[in-house]
Structure 1
Amino acid sequence: MPNQAAEKTVGFRALAAVLVPFLSSIAKIEFTDPQKLPTTGAFVLSPNHYSNIDPVIMGWSIWKLGRAPRFLAKASLFRVPVVGAVLRGTGQIPVERAGSVRGSEPLKAANELVEKGNAVIIYPEGTLTRDPQIWPMRGKTGAVRMALEQNLPIIPAAHWGTQAVMARYSNKISLFPRKTIKVAFGDPVDLSEFRGKPINSALLTAATELVMADITALLEVLRGETAPVERWNPAAHNQKETGRFE
């Protein structure tokens, strides 16, 4: 059985000693069903994404609940002085291109993730949502691929309020007044119909849509609104605007 206390490495604790007091001064978190975040064992956490500060807020959220967050990070960042040391010291996962879980390094890290019983946060949208109303857009398949290949549960999550701390596409933090951020966790996404089958594009796309549906349902509750029936598709929108795919 992995030692869960080992999740919070010296590097993590040093980083938290700096970040947590600052974050607590500018925002507070209100949890919905925090008990749905697994207290032990490896899992993939998949939240919505609409602000550049989302990873910090989501990492802080699961830290408050006793877990230590891991993220996929560009491999090039691991070669940057100081930044690389922080990433390695906190067990982040290197990838050669943003959002990808293909390749030997992510696979090695994923195996270690399972062995050590750690959690990894993967944003299925891959980038900030392009939906005009900040609803989750069509997801990419990286989170589901890791969950299926490593036989991990995938936990949907949603948050609302980070846009008041840092607006979409902005890098400016709003310090005052102190903001309230709502965070919700869901039950593990039911991927039973996909497990044990050959992994291909169609299977990953269908499984990813289940994940995005669960994330959207959580966000609907937090916002007190109903999401559009049709999920925003950046590729289709780009084709409509330019007449071609990119």
Structure 2
Amino acid sequence: MFGLVARIEVRGAERLPERGAYVLAPNHHSEIDPLIVALATWRIGRAPRFLAKESLFRIPVVGWLLHRAGMVPVARSRGAAAQAIAQATKLAEDQSGVIVYPEGTLTRDPDLWPMRGKSGAARLALAGGIPLIPMAHWGAQDLMPRYGKLSVLPPRKRITVAIGEPVDLADLTGRTDQAAIQTATERLMAAITALLEDLRGETAPPERWDPSQHGQTETGKL
């Protein structure tokens, strides 16, 4: 049904492993992004699974659906390191992948470039020695602007999704210290930004947007 309102082109589909665990990390600039990323992942042949707040799994019916869909719960009360190890172990056992937004929320950058990254995606990849794969997409803002309303006219808006090569973490193998996680996160955000630069045909700002330096909260509308 989504194909009626948008044309999604996927580049670099061969870079997403046909089998085995992976962490897929996309940029995030529209509320409709998860649907686009899920559809692109599904077309490639992998089940789209996201990290989701543990509280959602306790909601009747919703929790059952999340479990059945293979979503991965995130418990805020649990230590990040222990949780990452448990999640990575489960992904490896199930030979499944997970989609993690490294920005944690919609970008605050006024021009929709990827902003400062958080450690979740890198931490999970390092904990399990799992491929960390960058993804970028562009065009979603024409379908649903950030904090805006869905616009289906004109129909079949073009959205392009690009998947990059796995981030090189060979020199960080076996490390889960904060310095390694920060280095891996920076490499990931650089890879996502490079993909987006190619899609947009533009050059990103030299420094990534940091909400704390602009008096912005991490979540909620701008």
What is the TM-score normalised by the length of structure 2?
Answer: 0.91
What does residue 219 of structure 2 align with? none
Seq. identity, %: 54
C-alpha contact 2:28 2:101 (8 A) present in aligned 1:
yes
Gaps of 5+ in 2: 217-222
Which aligned segments of 4 or more residues in structure 1 are displaced greater than 6 angstroms? none
Task: State yes or no: 1:231 paired with 2:208.
Answer: yes
SS at match of 2:179: helix
C-alpha contact 1:124 1:142 (8 A) present in aligned 2:
yes
Report matched runs for 1:12-51 at 5 Å: 22-51=1-30
> May I ask how many residue pairs the two structures share in their alignment?
216
C-alpha contact 1:47 1:123 (8 A) present in aligned 2:
yes
User: How far apart, CA to CA, are the structure 1 residues paired with 2:73 and 2:84?
Assistant: 6
SS at match of 2:215: helix
Among 54, 62, 71, which residue is 1:75 paired with? 54
User: How far apart, CA to CA, are the structure 2 residues paired with 1:218 and 1:146?
Assistant: 22
1:201 to 1:103, Cα distance in 2 relative to 1, 3 A: closer
Q: Which amino acid aligns with 1:126?
A: G
User: How far apart, CA to CA, are the structure 2 residues paired with 1:108 and 1:195?
Assistant: 18
What does residue 203 of structure 1 align with? 180
User: How far apart, CA to CA, are the structure 2 residues paired with 1:33 and 1:106?
Assistant: 27
TM-aligned CA deviation for residue 183 of structure 1: 0.3
User: How far apart, CA to CA, are the structure 1 residues paired with 2:207 and 2:55?
Assistant: 36
TM-aligned CA deviation for residue 105 of structure 1: 5.9
Q: Which amino acid aligns with 2:198?
A: V
Task: State yes or no: 1:182 paired with 2:154.
Answer: no
TM-aligned CA deviation for residue 232 of structure 1: 0.8
Gaps of 5+ in 1: 1-21, 240-246
C-alpha contact 1:94 1:105 (8 A) present in aligned 2:
no
Q: Which amino acid aligns with 2:75?
A: E
Among 149, 158, 167, which residue is 2:145 paired with? 167
Q: Which amino acid aligns with 2:129?
A: N
TM-aligned CA deviation for residue 82 of structure 1: 2.2
User: How far apart, CA to CA, are the structure 1 residues paired with 2:76 and 2:116?
Assistant: 19
What is the TM-score normalised by the length of structure 1?
Answer: 0.82
1:95 to 1:103, Cα distance in 2 relative to 1, 3 A: farther
C-alpha contact 2:127 2:174 (8 A) present in aligned 1:
no
User: How far apart, CA to CA, are the structure 1 residues paired with 2:72 and 2:84?
Assistant: 6
User: How far apart, CA to CA, are the structure 2 residues paired with 1:103 and 1:67?
Assistant: 27
Q: Which amino acid aligns with 1:191?
A: L
TM-aligned CA deviation for residue 68 of structure 1: 0.3
TM-aligned CA deviation for residue 93 of structure 1: 0.8
SS at match of 1:70: coil
User: How far apart, CA to CA, are the structure 2 residues paired with 1:159 and 1:101?
Assistant: 32
User: How far apart, CA to CA, are the structure 2 residues paired with 1:233 and 1:216?
Assistant: 15
SS at match of 1:46: strand
